[in-house]
Structure formats: structure tokens, C-alpha cells
Structure 1
Amino acid sequence: MTLPDSKPDAEPTGAQAHFRALESLYAAAPINRLFDSVLEIPEGGIARIRFTIDERHFHAGGAAHGTSYFKMLDDAAFYAANSLVTDRFLLTTAFNLLFTKPLGPGPVIAEGRWVSGQRRVFVAEARLIDASGEEAARGTGTFMRSRIPLASLPGYRAG
């Protein structure tokens, strides 16, 4: 029996290339050396960050410090919004955060979703889901187009 030759996967194009380039940009950001995390953008307006909380992220009370909550919520909302913008880097202009449960050590998912805006200002929300499937925090951010071309940023590699 002869198997068909397998061809290498084609390079992503269009929106998929933009999503992969944003994932590369996230991975290249120096701040992400401090967090064991991976961004995935499955479709426009949606972003997920899988990360792990450990004792390095704890405050004196033995749970994750708010900086971890903010960073992951902001990033998930940001990338959900920037997935809809192919030419410019967005900037966070405001972010509101609601803590609902302390995070201990373990895996967490930050889920971001675009809510509104398509020109200059975008609104996106995010939530943190712990390993038991419970929401630990949620946030809403506003983001605006900057003058920074995405293509000029180290790490942004569009196909």
C-alpha cells in the first residue's frame, strides 16, 4: 500500500497570519519572561492566555497578587481587540477590574472578547478561569489605536 506524499502545511494567510503574528508578538514581549504563559487567538475578537500561577506570584497572604490578575486580563482583552486591527498596535487607555476569588497555584485561563468599537477606540472584556472552572476575576478595558505600526515591532511576524 502506498501512502500519499504528505505536504507541509501552507503558511497562514490573511486573518490567520495576523493572529499568528500577534501570538509571536506576545511571546517576544520581555514581560512575558516573568510568566509561564501562551497566547492563542482562535478567531477575530477572541483571545485566550493559558498560564500558571505559582508561589512567585503570591502576596504575603499566600495567594496571587493583583498584578497577575491585571496583567493577564489586560493582555487577553488587548489581544482580542488587536486581533481586529491589522495595521496598528493598540494601547490600553483604561481598565476596570473585579476580583471575585483568590487564585492559588495552578493553571489559569484568561479569556478575552471584543465587545465594541471598530475604528479608533475598542472595548474588550476578559475573565480569569481557574483549574476548577470557576471565575476568579473579570475586567473591561478600552483600547485605542496608536501611531505604532505592528509591522515595525520586533516579534510581529506576519506570514
Structure 2
Amino acid sequence: MRLTVTPPDEPAGAASHYRALERLYEAAPVNTLFPSRLEIPGEGRARLIFQVERAVFHAAGAAHGTVYFKMLDDAAFYAANTLVTDRFLLTTSFNLHFTKPVREGEVIAEGRWVSGRKRVLVAESRLVDADGDEIGRGTGTFMRSRIALSGLPGYADRR
């Protein structure tokens, strides 16, 4: 028997929503291209663990900027979507700042909700390499879509 413990300050429904978002991430076809795992520790926060491989390098031997965007956008997006339990969010804008080349290995993307709860939400994220150095950061704006989370593959699945 598997026992799930919910922290006292997190309602049980919130924990269920977070696990459903993690399943939604896992079910997205694009994530078969990027070895990664989503963890949602609580409201307004998300953490992605990525394995950067040489297959995503540009000609100069570091990860292409699309990889930065994918990691930063996903971390900020899921941090924001922890506050929205009925609708899928859409990225309406995202600003990136590259501070160091992404090389092979594990990269952590940490997302944090900043503001907004109704129609538009703002979240930020940062990338940290295996040495603990920040390698990029971003800020995104996300809006509620008409797409119900409950109808998306992965979200409603119970394992």
C-alpha cells in the first residue's frame, strides 16, 4: 500500500491537482524529445530536471536556444498553472536571458509564480547547471485558455 502524505498547509485537492499536472507533463508528446521530469512541490512552484544531450547542441558545441526556452517556459508555465485548476494556460509572451552555455548533463529549471490569479498570470524561472551555476532565466505571461484541464491526456488519468 502506498501512503501519500499531504503537508498540513496544502489542501488535499491541491496535491491532487499537482500530481495531475505532473502526469499532464509526462503525457505531452513533445517531452519524448527532451529527457526530463516535472516535480511540483507546492502552490506557485515547479521544478524540472532535464538531461541535456549532445543531440540538441548547435555547431559551437552547446545547447541550442530552443532548449533554454523549453526548460524555462515549462518551469514558469507549470508554476503558474498550479494556481489554475480548471483551465490549461497558454504562454502569451516570454523573455529569456542567457548567462552561460548549457552543456551536457543535468540541468534544473525552477519556476515560481509572481503575480496574477484571474485571467493573466506572470511567472519566472531560472536554470541551474550541475555545478550550481545559473545558466539562464526567464519571465513569462500566461493566460487562461478555453481548454479544460480535465479533458487533456494525462491530467485526468489516475495511476
TM range (shorter): over 0.9
Equivalent position of 2:66 in the other structure? 67
The RMSD of aligned alpha carbons is 1.4
CA drift of 1:23 comes to 0.1
CA–CA distance in 2 between the matches of 1:150 and 1:128? 27
Contact 1:91 1:145 (8 Å CA) reproduced: yes
Equivalent position of 2:2 in the other structure? 8
Residues 97 and 41 from structure 1, CA distance in 2 versus in 1: closer, same or farther, beyond 3 angstroms? Answer: same
- Pair 1:145-2:144 in alignment: yes
Equivalent position of 2:37 in the other structure? 38
- Give the TM-score, by structure 1 length: 0.93
Between the two proteins, what is the percent identity of the paired residues? Answer: 67
Contact 1:17 1:158 (8 Å CA) reproduced: no
- Pair 1:55-2:49 in alignment: no
Aligned residues: 153
Equivalent position of 1:98 in the other structure? 97
User: What whole-Å deviation, never above 9, does each CA across 1:118-157 have from its counterpart, x for those lacking one?
Assistant: 1000000000000000000000000000000000101103
CA–CA distance in 1 between the matches of 2:81 and 2:141? 11
Q: Select between 7-16 and 148-157 the one with higher mean Cα deviation.
A: 7-16
CA drift of 1:158 comes to 6.6
Q: Greater Rg, structure 1 or structure 2?
A: 1
Equivalent position of 1:4 in the other structure? none
CA–CA distance in 1 between the matches of 2:5 and 2:102? 38
Equivalent position of 2:76 in the other structure? 77
Q: Structure 1 segments of 4 or more deviating over 3 A?
A: 10-13
Q: Secondary structure at the match of 1:26?
A: helix
CA drift of 1:18 comes to 0.2
CA–CA distance in 2 between the matches of 1:103 and 1:87? 35
AA matched with 1:9: L
Contact 1:77 1:124 (8 Å CA) reproduced: yes
CA drift of 1:32 comes to 0.1
- Pair 1:110-2:109 in alignment: yes
- Give the TM-score, by structure 2 length: 0.93
Equivalent position of 1:124 in the other structure? 123
CA–CA distance in 2 between the matches of 1:140 and 1:153? 25
